[in-house]
Structure 1
Amino acid sequence: MIELRKLRYIIAAAEAGSFSRAARNLNIKQATLSRHILDVEQRLGIAMFDRGTRGARLTPNGKTYLRTARRIVKEFEELNAWVRDTRTGEVGGLAIGFYTSFTAGNLRATLVGFRDFYPRVKLRGFERNRQMLLEGIENGLLDIVVMIGEAQYPNLRSRPFWSERILVAMPEGHPLASRERIHWTDLHGERFLLTERDPGPETRHMLLSKLWMPGYTPEIDMDDIGRDTVLSAIALGGFISIVAESALGIQVPGVVFREVHESNGHIRIGFSGYWREDNDNAALHRFLEFVAERYSLPPLSGQHHSSQQSGKEMA
């Protein structure tokens, strides 16, 4: 078997046109380089160089061998670079689960930004309900999921990511549409339409906590439809809905959005990331670092991969 370093010696000698110059370039003795090249020639039974006082020129067999040697060395270097980058999270894959709108908002902006910063990490997105997302983490199909709220799950790590404004979606002809901001008390007596799918149940709980009072329970219809269909139904009149800011990317004619406010300002809802404690995917740790830097979050304890180590800086 021909050692890789001997292939490098042959390439260096061919490029320098001289054994002495190649040896100087490689910072080795000329005798060492000559001995290794001669060993290759003897093993293969061919002469690769015509040696003379003016240097060393490749023979026809040497030119043919050089083409293959360069390809082998190049592929070996590319393989080493791939392994190194995979270990640091700059190359690989990342499976992300979510159930919120991907048309706008922080989730979309974060994934687009991460893809631009780490173009060799292949992102795969999966839109599922909460239970299926948690099962996906458990069985290893997903690296991380992004969900509304903060909760604790066995064997999972989590951290808050970002927040989005809470909006009322209503027909453009609704009496409240003329207001720039809406308060919870303005919504008493309204009929709400929500999806049975996530995050519909969480939205329903929020509505009940904000609007319920003795003698009054808000009227909430829950249908097995998607977010787009909910907004399309609202455009027809008769319903309003509560959505996160990311829903602004869903353009439905006849629907307007207004912020929900409390006494201390507009209301926001938090999003968190969840992942398995034993997930050693380096791309996952890169993603967590990216989110932390993007939203000025404190670093996670126990993380070993950092942007400083990669020699990159966030724009």
Structure 2
Amino acid sequence: MFSIGCAIGMIELRQLRYLIAAAHSGSFSRAARTLNIKQATLSRHILEVEQRLGITLFDRKTRGATLTPNGQRYLRTARRIVKEFEELNAWVRETRDGENGRLAIGFYTSFSAGNLRATLTEFSDRFPNIQVRGFERDRQMLLAGIENGLLDIVIMIGEVRYHHLRSRSFWSERILVAMPESHPLASRERIHWTDLTGERFLLTERDPGPETRNMLLSKLWMPGYTPEIDMDDIGRDTVLSAIALGGRVSIVAESALGIQVPGVVFREVHESNGHIRIGFSGYWREDNDNAVLHRFLEFVADRYSLPPLSGQQQSSHQTGKEMP
């Protein structure tokens, strides 16, 4: 039992609760009924507190009990102690259960729209006591952040496996082509890969530019034809601004829809079986014991109706190299 030390003895926390209940009820009998204990038990504990303090806290009357002036002063402190102790217990419980604390998330996709933005917004609304911090970096810096413990989890495109990291697929987004509104293809609601043959593409050298380039090569390359792809060291917003000037198009995930650039339109890219989607996965250290991380993983699984995380679902990352 938690106790409060003083020069003349130890006052138990439950005794302070008895005192507060008696003061609130104005009657030992009513307070005992509220606390679901015997009146004799409550009276005995309050008398014990008075004896240890050497002061009278209550005036006992036939029809009830009222606080003495000393009792009123003592009650103010007792209420503060009980309130702070209960707040401390709540904090410990919420921290242990992953409802209080911090979560550091790394990513390199756009945060202007899409599932990442929607997920983090809803997570923060559901758990307002959790501080979520986001870090936008390239893939290698994100992986380094996981390794050195600066990040709890990173969310990246694809399903690459890395040594000593666990991972799971999270969600997918549509692939879009961004083009000038004056482009001949802008009048179409959907675009097929074959429609993009002969186009000049502009991508960022930064992530996910290299992945997008590989996708374009796999979809458009054919004997005698290699798509023309410009890779510039610019951000995704600058890419779209350059697209508005005309002459080039770009490939983006639907999370980029939140970036409003005058003169740029987006159209879905389709294959024979429907529009194309690209997957996003989460990566974290196996030995990360942050309860908030596990709360976030449970939240994502529930939001996207994902299967339970298997104990064998482990990926790897070692010195930045992919597994063979």
TM norm. shorter chain > 0.5: yes
Equivalent pairs counted in the alignment come to 303
Residue 12 (structure 2) aligns with: 3
CA distance in 1, matches of 2:151, 2:205: 23
Residue 163 (structure 2) aligns with: 154
Does residue 21 of structure 1 match 2:30?
Answer: yes
CA distance in 1, matches of 2:17, 2:186: 73
Question: Secondary structure of 1:34's partner?
Answer: helix
Q: 1:251 aligns with which of 236, 244, 260?
A: 260
Question: Secondary structure of 1:189's partner?
Answer: coil
CA distance in 1, matches of 2:62, 2:189: 88
Residue 193 (structure 2) aligns with: 184
Q: 1:141 aligns with which of 133, 150, 174?
A: 150
Q: 2:182 aligns with which of 167, 173, 185?
A: 173
Q: 1:242 aligns with which of 235, 241, 251?
A: 251
Describe the superposition over 1:269-315 as per-residue Cα deviations: whole angstroms up to 9, x where unpaired.
Answer: 11111111112222222221221122121121359xxxxxxxxxxxx
Deviation at 1:110, TM superposition (A): 1.0
Describe the superposition over 1:143-192 as per-residue Cα deviations: whole angstroms up to 9, x where unpaired.
Answer: 11110000111111111111111111111111221222222122222111
Aligned positions of 1:18-167 closer than 5 A: 18-167=27-176
Question: Secondary structure of 1:47's partner?
Answer: coil
CA distance in 2, matches of 1:55, 1:104: 63
Deviation at 1:193, TM superposition (A): 0.7
Deviation at 1:29, TM superposition (A): 3.2
CA distance in 2, matches of 1:155, 1:121: 26
Identity %: 86
CA distance in 2, matches of 1:18, 1:189: 89
Question: Secondary structure of 1:32's partner?
Answer: helix
Question: Secondary structure of 2:55's partner?
Answer: coil
Residue 322 (structure 2) aligns with: none
Residue 261 (structure 1) aligns with: 270
Question: Secondary structure of 1:208's partner?
Answer: helix
CA distance in 2, matches of 1:296, 1:287: 14
> Under a length normalisation based on structure 1, what TM-score does the superposition of the two structures give?
0.92
CA distance in 1, matches of 2:75, 2:27: 15
CA distance in 2, matches of 1:260, 1:20: 75
CA distance in 2, matches of 1:188, 1:26: 78
Residue 308 (structure 2) aligns with: 299
CA distance in 1, matches of 2:220, 2:122: 38
Question: Secondary structure of 1:137's partner?
Answer: helix
Deviation at 1:36, TM superposition (A): 2.1
CA distance in 1, matches of 2:276, 2:34: 66
Question: Secondary structure of 2:14's partner?
Answer: helix
> Residues 178 and 21 (structure 1 numbering): CA distance in 2 closer, same or farther, change over 3 Å?
closer
CA distance in 1, matches of 2:218, 2:40: 84
For structure 1, which segment, 203-212 or 41-50, has the greater mean C-alpha deviation from structure 2 after superposition? 41-50
Q: One-letter code of the match for 2:301?
A: A
CA distance in 1, matches of 2:30, 2:117: 55
Q: Which runs of no fewer than 5 residues in structure 1 stay unpaired?
A: 304-315
CA distance in 2, matches of 1:196, 1:123: 28
Q: One-letter code of the match for 1:147?
A: M
> Under a length normalisation based on structure 2, what TM-score does the superposition of the two structures give?
0.89
Residue 312 (structure 1) aligns with: none
CA distance in 2, matches of 1:40, 1:89: 38
Deviation at 1:248, TM superposition (A): 0.8
Deviation at 1:23, TM superposition (A): 2.7
Q: What is the root-mean-square deviation of aligned Cα atoms in Å?
A: 1.6
